Structures are given as structure tokens and as C-alpha cells.
Structure 1
């Protein structure tokens, strides 16, 4: 089972695909205060939950979703059809850092998908390419709530500089030429809801589908749960920044 399929299955009951509640997703999108006829882009859109909600909140907006996951994009298309939004949503199965657009966007999202570009600074540079003057970016990124142990870094295959603290994350955005105009820091409840959903939904699918795929999915759920409960819980945080480019 490839990584994108595992992720698609695990996010079935939490399509927001980040430790963010539906109410806080609405708050972030509403705070963007998009103009009439807004153009929206999501780089790493997954099942499209952020884009679909944005199209509901801004009835005259149009959107493009970019992802490499075939299953996720199929789910996004199905949801758009069910919600009557298909005519305002275009989906593209290409890497986020390879997407080319003919016109700039009023809002560009990259929530929990900055790894598609490399480091946060690379993602912010990639987002900037698609923004119109005065446009906004909505970027979700991890940060260290407290310094990680050597053991946790080894478990995650990470290094101390992969993330900064919360203040350092805002500073990294500033150094990349962005001003933070609003933000949401995910709560422990949001993290727990996300992680229990991710691991539990994948576990249920595995038990309902015995065989090699089910075994692989169950192993992935167990590994993820152990890494969370015994590792990064209360160490790794998540912040979603609403950013506006500056003149540097």
C-alpha cells in the first residue's frame, strides 16, 4: 500500500487532515475576507475539505486543488459533486511544487503540506509564486512546543532545526517576506481528535479488510499511534498562519 492510500484511508473520518476543528477552519477562512469572485488555490489539498468549505463560505469563488494522491482527489471530486460545487472546483494531480497556473490567486493554502516543497521557507517561496498583489496565504506548519529529545528526533527521523518554536516559526515566515495577520494554534483537544481519528479509522479499515493490505494498514496505525502517544504528544505543536507578503 502506498503512502497516499494509507493517508487517504486514515483521513476518512477527519478530512480536514490537520489538527484543526471545523469551527476553527471556518474562523481561519472567514478571517481571510476574500473579495468577490476570489480565486483560491490549495497546494496539497488532500480530500479537499479546506477548499470545499471555502467555496461554501464564498459562493462566487472558484478554486484549484493540487495533490499527488489519486484516491484523495477522487474523494474531493465526489464530495464536490455531492455539495453542488463541481463547477467551481478544478483538481490537478501533480506535485505541489510543479503546479503552474495562468492567473494568480487571492488565497493560497498549504496546510500540513509544506514538506512537499522541503523546508517552510521553500514552501512560502512556492506559495508566493501564485499570489496576486495583496493576496493572502494560509499555511499550516508544525512547531516544537518544547525541545524534542534525542530519542524523539531519532524516532521521527528528524533534526532539531526541522521545526522552530512558535515564535521562531512566525519569525521564519517574516524572514521569508510575510507578515502574520492572524493565526490559530491547535489545542490538545484538536490534536487528540485528529490522532485518534487517524489511527482509529485506519485500524477499523484494517480489521474490516483482513489480508496483506489489512495487515499493512494495521501495522501503520499501530506505529503511528505509538509514535504519537510515546513520542511527540505535547512536544509537537501545529499552527496555521494567515500571511500577507511584504516588500521584504
Structure 2
């Protein structure tokens, strides 16, 4: 079963593809889009849930999203059309790491998709290249809440060096010339809701379509994911969403 199809099915009941509740998303967007007429770019936008949420509440704002998944973008077009946002939302089917634009953006977001760039710091560098003067970057990344066990690493198909602890993550960001102006650390409840929604939505689809050739595979994928989470990385992998502005140049001595 195609991984993009699995992801689309798994996120039907939790369209924000990250462990954040709706209230957390809304609070971050209020901080990230203070004027309400900004131009926003989402790199690795998936089904464009962040963009749709932002534009629906801000009639003067405009947005662009970039993703490689035609399945996710088809859903994004459908959702945007139903919300009446077609004239203010542009979607690009391409590799986010290769995206260029003739204009800059007031907000560039990369939430849960830094892997498309090879990690946090390359994603942050790419976002900065597309940022307008005075703009902000919204970036979401995992971090180790505690030393990962072999079971946690297996559940995530990860290595210890894939993430840092929270303090080190922030240190790396600030050393690269960025200042956090707001942040949200996902709570255990947000993580649990996200994971139950992911595995539950995929399982429900399989049970509702018993005759589909992918039904058995979907159930297996949901069970494998649930096992890796519950017996592996639950309580070990954290998630932080940072709102950043470029730091001023160092003062001359």
C-alpha cells in the first residue's frame, strides 16, 4: 500500500499532521500572523491544513503550499475549494527542498516536515532564504524527552543522533542566527490524541472496506505503528513548534 495513501487515510480525523490540538494551532497562528494580511508559505504542506486554517480566519491573507504527494494535494484542493479559498491559496506539487519563488513570504512554516530537507538545520536555512524582511519562521521538530531505548528507536526507525534534547535543539537554532519569540511543546495528551487518531483512522478505513485489496495491509500498518508507539517511543519522543525571527547582527566591540 502506497505510503502517501496510508498517510492520507491516517490523517482524516487529525488533519494537522503533528501532535497539536486545534487550540494550540490557533494560538501559534495568532502569534505568527499578527497583521492578518500576510503572505504565508508552508513547505511540506501535506493536505494544507495549516494554510486552510490560517486563511479561513484571515480574509486578507494569502498562502502557498509545497508538497510531493499528489494524494495530499488533491485533498488540499478539495478542502480549500469547500472553504472558498481557491483564489487565495496556491499549491505546488514538487520537492519542498527545491522550491524557489519570485517573491518572499511573511511566514514560512515547516512543521513536521524537516525530513524533506535532511533535518532541522537545512530546513531552517531553506526557510530563511524565502523569508521577507521582518518575517517569521514556524518550524516543528521532534526532540528526545529522555534517552531513547532500543524499542523507541525501533518504533521510530531512528538512530540516537536523529534528534537532540529540547535545550540542545534550541541552542542549535539560536547559534544559527534565530531568536525564538514563541513556542509550543506538545503535551502527552496531544501526542496520545494524535497517535490514536492516526492508528484509529487507518484501522477504521480498513474495517469499513473489508473487500478492498489494501484493507489487510492497512490494518497491519496501523497495528505496527500502534505497537511501535505504545511499546516504544511513547513518552520518549517530544515535539516542539518554534516561532522564530532572525537575530540581529552581533554588536561591534
Band of TM-score, shorter chain: over 0.9
CA shift at 1:155, angstroms? 4.0
Query: 1:158 matched to which residue of 2?
Result: 158
CA shift at 1:98, angstroms? 1.2
C-alpha distance in 2 between matches for 1:45 and 1:79: 13
Long gaps (5+) in structure 1: none
Query: 2:218 matched to which residue of 1?
Result: 217
CA shift at 1:7, angstroms? 0.4
Q: Deviations over 1:8-30 (max 9, x none)?
A: 11000100111101111000000
Query: 1:245 matched to which residue of 2?
Result: 246
Asked if 1:136 corresponds to 2:169, the answer is: no
CA shift at 1:247, angstroms? 4.5
Query: 1:102 matched to which residue of 2?
Result: 102
Query: 1:205 matched to which residue of 2?
Result: 205
Asked if 1:169 corresponds to 2:169, the answer is: yes
Tell me if structure 1 keeps the 8 A contact 2:105–2:130. yes
Tell me if structure 2 keeps the 8 A contact 1:5–1:69. no
C-alpha distance in 1 between matches for 2:94 and 2:248: 30
CA shift at 1:36, angstroms? 5.3
CA shift at 1:33, angstroms? 3.7
Query: 1:228 matched to which residue of 2?
Result: 229
C-alpha distance in 1 between matches for 2:153 and 2:231: 12
SS at match of 2:160: coil
Q: Deviations over 1:209-240 (max 9, x none)?
A: 23431111111101100000000000001110
C-alpha distance in 1 between matches for 2:150 and 2:5: 30
Query: 1:70 matched to which residue of 2?
Result: 70
Long gaps (5+) in structure 2: none
Q: CA RMSD in A?
A: 1.3
Asked if 1:3 corresponds to 2:3, the answer is: yes
Query: 1:186 matched to which residue of 2?
Result: 186
C-alpha distance in 2 between matches for 1:127 and 1:5: 27
Tell me if structure 2 keeps the 8 A contact 1:65–1:92. yes
Q: TM-score, normalised by structure 1?
A: 0.96
Asked if 1:81 corresponds to 2:81, the answer is: yes
Q: TM-score, normalised by structure 2?
A: 0.94
C-alpha distance in 1 between matches for 2:121 and 2:248: 16
Tell me if structure 1 keeps the 8 A contact 2:151–2:228. no
SS at match of 2:148: coil
> Paired residues, what number?
248
